[in-house]
Amino acid sequence: MRLTPHGPGFSFIDAVEVLGDNPPRLLATKWLDPSLLFFEDHFPANPLMPGVLLVEMAAQAAGALWGRNENLDVSAVSFVLAQVQDFRLKRSARPGDTLICEVQLQNEFGALAQFSVEIRIRDGESPIAGGKITLARSPA
């Protein structure tokens, strides 16, 4: 079963683990394969993951959490990124890193849901990125 409705070339989570449901929390992981195409050009002498893809990873993890919280098939449901708030990029993610993204559902407003997000390279380390994102449930 796929973890997101995205194709393999745009999936930024490899595995998920539900941490709890009061409040709903989820851990998503992604190994950054050094052969990923964006590493060739961003930047050739000093490759790093584009910050916008860290935001995308957070959105995909939030969608996986929201879908599971609502008992939806996360590979078929469509959530879209509606807002990014106070998202800070503190350090770079590089080829070979394994990213750990923890998302927590903060509020639901009908077709909208807000999540807090922290992305780390290893458990126990300081976050390399984080903030709040809002997803919208796309009409069928």
**pLDDT confidence of residue 1:** 55
- Tell me the pLDDT tens digit for each residue of 34-63: 999 999 999 999 999 999 999 999 999 999
pTM higher than the cut 0.85: yes
> Measured between alpha carbons, how far is 32 from 97 in angstroms, rounded to an integer?
5
> Measured between alpha carbons, how far is 25 from 137 in angstroms, rounded to an integer?
18
Amino acid symbol at 76: A
Q: What tokens does 94 get?
A: 């590089």
- The more confidently predicted of residues 138 and 123 is 138
Q: What is the DSSP string of 81-113?
A: EEEEEEEEE-S---TT-EEEEEEEEEEEETTEE
Taken in order 92, 50, 34, 131, is the CA torsion positive or negative?
A: positive
Residue 45 structural domain: 8-137
**CATH no. for residue 65?**
3.10.129.10
Q: What is the number of domains present in the chain? A: 1
- Active-site positions read 42
C-beta atoms surrounding 89 within 10 Å: 16
- Tell me the pLDDT tens digit for each residue of 59-107: 999 999 998 888 887 666 789 999 999 999 999 999 999 999 999 999 9
**pLDDT confidence of residue 140:** 58
**Is residue 3 included in any domain, yes or no?**
no
